[in-house]
Structure 1
Amino acid sequence: MKMTTLKMKKKLDELFQNDDWRISYQRDKDIYRIEWKETKEGVSIKLPNVIAKYEQRGEQAVEELHYHVTESLKMMKEKHELTGKEKHIFPVIRATSFPKKTKSGKKLLFTKHTAETNIYYALDLGNTYQLIDETMISEYNLDETRLKEIALFNIRSLKITPKKQRVADNDFYFISPQDGYDASRILNEVFLEEMRANAIGELVVAVPHQDVLIVADIQNETGYDIIAQMTMQFFAEGRVPITSLPFVYDNKKLEPVFILAKNKPKQ
């Protein structure tokens, strides 16, 4: 029997029963939302996408949706007290070839991210930012572990407004607010989990340069070819290049996608 919107809504109503959550449904937009009653932070789900995945993979698709939404809601509940300089500390993504020291020889603070990328940490100064080195940590009396946690928490506070394009039955989302932390939004797991929950196909993300994050819902083989060419082009044109390899996002992990682009994207 074909899954209808009403049947899927009832299924999700049962799945997301929680006294601390509020469930709502926008019928005109087919948007199903689960949010914390206290903060009103939550996750929005496109029901047609859920139904499409259900018809492809059955109950497994609904189980995966439940996992990604629940994980996203859990992360929203994490709280950190921010005081002074901590409010202005953000992560920045760089290529693994990026210098590990300043010109004066001070060691920059960084964390390994993927085989292609590292996470550096920056003190936001308004119109620019300063990468944090080891001497700054002691100078500002900051614990290194806590600093890293705060930076990842802060990146989630930045607005994400994707611009969507559909090409050859694949959906591409471009995040480029031009605030210096465009690519850093790849570290916003709440956002990625929500995108994964809504994706019909495989979720692929790319940070070709500092000033853009590309998220793609790849639904056919042509989509891989398009994201490969797109990432390479952005990488070549970027002011601060990061990596020309896109990543598959699944189970909170990023795995590089090695694609030999043979076909030009269809117009």
Structure 2
Amino acid sequence: MADKIKKQLDGKPWTAHFDREKDTLRVEDEVSKKGVTISLPGIIAKWENQKEQAVSEVVYYIEEALTAMTEAQDLGGKEKKLFPVIRSTSFPTENSEGTALLFDDHTAETRIFYALDLGNSYRLIDRKMMERENWGHERIRETALFNLRSLKTVTKKDTVAGNTFYFLRANDGYDASRILDESVVQSFHERISGTMAVALPHQDVVIFADIQNDTGYDVLAQMAMSFFASGRVPITALSFLYEENKWEPIFILGKNRPKDSGKDEK
């Protein structure tokens, strides 16, 4: 897989190094040394089904990311291009230069980062970008959340064994971020008659679930794992319950019963 990706990057001013121990491919700009690290197992899994399309997608991601990294980005006059993005808690809190990224805690499994939209890609906002414009954390947070509310919500619905699942997927890079839009969350809360749950498997989808029976938990867990394995930017394979305006991560174990992720199974 590393060789397939390298072949499509031929002619670019970038170097690629395969780490056999970690199963990753590091692609860097030859001058700035900025780059991206790609985990290969997930791409190989997608290649089994999508073949060359899976390789083309990751090459496109690499090209857009490196182009964005090597061009100077400022916030001035770009308030409407700020958006929040959801990432796992294992996601680095510094960029490749060692500069701290701007983020807020969200759940035990997720964090909220902030991004400057560049059209076909975006760049996560770091402390240096903030300092150049003298922008505060609160201003960026409020602006990004305001812009999020302006995005269209595209929903598809499916019903399995009496349980209803709603898929939010506008393919704008901020689908998972929709759970930060309180109006979207409340719209689902009002229509759900059973237990309200959600899955955030990767950045390009969020699944709201109306759980009516034990089978619903199993179906949601299977969906979350499947999407997590195929996502370009995975977040978490865990699901969440919505209680008192908060998201609580759960393990779905044993006989379809949800368990609090912070407790040991008895």
Q: Give the conservation status (yes or no) of the 8 Å contact 1:100–1:108.
A: yes
AA of the residue aligned to 2:95: T
Paired with 1:217 and 1:227, the residues of 2 have a C-alpha distance of 10
Q: Where do 1:1-267 residues align within 5 Å?
A: 84-260=77-253
Paired with 2:177 and 2:199, the residues of 1 have a C-alpha distance of 11
1:163-184 deviation digits (Å, cap 9, x = unpaired): 0001100110111111111111
TM-score of the aligned structures, taking structure 2 as reference length: 0.66
Paired with 1:160 and 1:262, the residues of 2 have a C-alpha distance of 34
Runs of 4+ aligned structure 1 residues displaced above 4 Å come to none
AA of the residue aligned to 2:251: F
Q: Give me the identity figure in percent.
A: 59
Paired with 1:165 and 1:257, the residues of 2 have a C-alpha distance of 22
- Gaps of at least 5 residues in structure 1 are 1-82
- Gaps of at least 5 residues in structure 2 are 1-75, 257-266
Shift of 1:251: 2.0
Shift of 1:128: 1.0
| SS of residue matched to 1:84 | coil
Shift of 1:141: 2.5
Shift of 1:262: 5.6
Shift of 1:146: 1.4
1:51-92 deviation digits (Å, cap 9, x = unpaired): xxxxxxxxxxxxxxxxxxxxxxxxxxxxxxxx9321110000
Q: Which has the higher strand share?
A: 2
1:92-146 deviation digits (Å, cap 9, x = unpaired): 0000000111111111001110000000000011111110000101112212111
Shift of 1:219: 1.0
| SS of residue matched to 1:149 | helix
Paired with 2:154 and 2:92, the residues of 1 have a C-alpha distance of 31
1:196-231 deviation digits (Å, cap 9, x = unpaired): 011110111111011111111111111011101111
Aligned residues: 181
CA RMSD of aligned residues (A): 1.4
AA of the residue aligned to 1:208: P
Shift of 1:261: 6.0
| SS of residue matched to 2:208 | strand
Q: Give the conservation status (yes or no) of the 8 Å contact 1:95–1:117.
A: yes
AA of the residue aligned to 2:166: Y
- Residues 181/124 of structure 1: CA separation in 2 closer, same or farther (3 Å cut): same
| SS of residue matched to 2:202 | coil
